[in-house]
């Protein structure tokens, strides 16, 4: 599957990226960074460093938006650390980011590829994709599908009671992407909080010895820092990659949704005139964790 990953790495982003780079069923044709968990300079560098860790110097990456379409930026530095990687050391990038920036990079790749052949895996705020839709609508319309981690349907939010971080960080971008022409599969907290790793799971993962597995185990261990009383941690963003490759692990429902940009920014509101979105509402978590661990354990 030909994919471009749009991301704000971020610990769980990093695990999803490592899985995508290890799994030969994915052809990763680029990574675009967006500000979210941490600022754009750091998320961009982390994208380059994760590619370097996997010896993927041939894969391009680009810096995207430094903040939301409107309003002030928020971040998750408290969870992901000042470096976004929880203090886990990564190699320096093998190449510089694309000089053109994310929107131009995405537009060029989409215009080169046959229509409907590139899937966007969105792991952060949807700012870059909204900008692409605004600035290069012809290229945007060529996206096969956007699979995005974000939002909550019934679960309590993680940015206040109603909103999830990726939606809250840029609700206007999310609303514009929802209302756009490209089909969207959304994976909300209702599902991503079910895919969890315990310290014992991490020992099992690290035992495989591949770079993707050992690095992921270190990154998820860092996710416990400051949350040492937790017995497990959620693996939000890797759900996007699993949905792309293993959709039978999920149960989905079609919903009409819009994104609240005012009272509770980022809250998903069911609305008759809302965008039609395929929303993952169930996951076979044990099988999904096995699939994730198996992909991270593939020797490249
Ligand atoms: C989402 O927010 C970020 O902290 C994670 O990387 C994930 O994309 C979860 O709400
Ligand atoms: Ca993320």
What is the position in ligand 1's atom list of the atom closest to the CA of 169? 2
Residue-level pLDDT at 230: 82
Domain count, the chain: 1
Kindly indicate the confidence band of residue 225, based on its pLDDT and cuts at 50, 70 and 90. Answer: confident
- Catalytic amino acids? 236
Cβ neighbours of residue 64 closer than 8 Å, sequence gap 6 or more? 6, 32, 33, 34, 35, 40, 44, 101, 102, 103, 127, 128, 131
Instruction: Give the global pTM.
Output: 0.98
Smallest-distance ligand from the CA of 219: 1
Question: Distances in Å between the alpha carbon of 274 and those of 50, 268, 293?
Answer: 37, 10, 36
Whether the predicted pLDDT of 228 surpasses 80: no
For residue 270, the SS3 value is: strand
Question: Distances in Å between the alpha carbon of 4 and those of 105, 169, 257?
Answer: 10, 21, 25
Structural domain boundaries enclosing 227: 2-296
Tell me which residues have their CB closer than 6 angstroms to ligand 1: 10, 12-13, 37, 76, 123-124, 149, 158, 164-166, 236-237
Find the CATH number of the domain harbouring 172: 3.90.245.10
Instruction: Please write the tens of the pLDDT for every residue from 121-164.
Output: 999 999 999 999 999 999 999 999 999 999 999 999 999 999 99
What is the position in ligand 1's atom list of the atom closest to the CA of 159? 10
């Amino acid at each position: 599957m030909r994919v471009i990953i749009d991301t704000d790495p971020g610990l769980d982003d990093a695990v999803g990226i490592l899985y995508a780079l290890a799994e030969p069923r994915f052809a990763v044709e680029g990574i675009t960074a967006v500000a979210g968990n941490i600022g754009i300079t750091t998320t961009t560098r982390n994208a380059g460093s994760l590619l370097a860790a996997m010896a993927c110097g041939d894969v391009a990456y680009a810096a995207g938006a430094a903040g939301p379409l409107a309003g002030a930026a928020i971040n998750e530095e408290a969870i992901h650390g000042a470096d976004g990687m929880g203090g886990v050391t990564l190699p320096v990038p093998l190449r510089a980011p694309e000089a053109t920036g994310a929107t131009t990079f995405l537009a060029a790749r989409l215009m080169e590829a046959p229509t409907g052949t590139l899937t966007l895996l969105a792991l952060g705020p949807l700012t870059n994709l909204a900008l692409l839709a605004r600035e290069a609508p012809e290229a945007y319309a060529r996206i096969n599908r956007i699979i995005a981690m974000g939002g909550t349907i019934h679960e309590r939010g993680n940015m206040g009671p109603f909103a999830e971080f990726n939606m809250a960080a840029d609700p206007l971008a999310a609303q514009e992407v929802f209302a756009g022409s490209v089909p969207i599969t959304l994976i909300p907290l209702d599902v991503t909080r079910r895919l969890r790793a315990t310290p014992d799971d991490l020992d099992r993962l690290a035992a495989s010895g591949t770079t993707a597995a050992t690095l992921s185990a270190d990154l998820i261990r860092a996710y416990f820092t400051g949350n040492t009383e937790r017995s497990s941690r959620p693996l939000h963003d890797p759900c996007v990659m699993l949905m792309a490759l293993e959709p039978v692990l999920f149960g989905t429902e079609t919903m009409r949704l819009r994104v609240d940009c005012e009272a509770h920014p980022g809250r998903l509101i069911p609305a008759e005139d809302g965008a039609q979105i395929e929303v993952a509402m169930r996951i076979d978590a044990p099988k999904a964790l096995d699939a994730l661990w198996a992909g991270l354990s593939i020797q490249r």
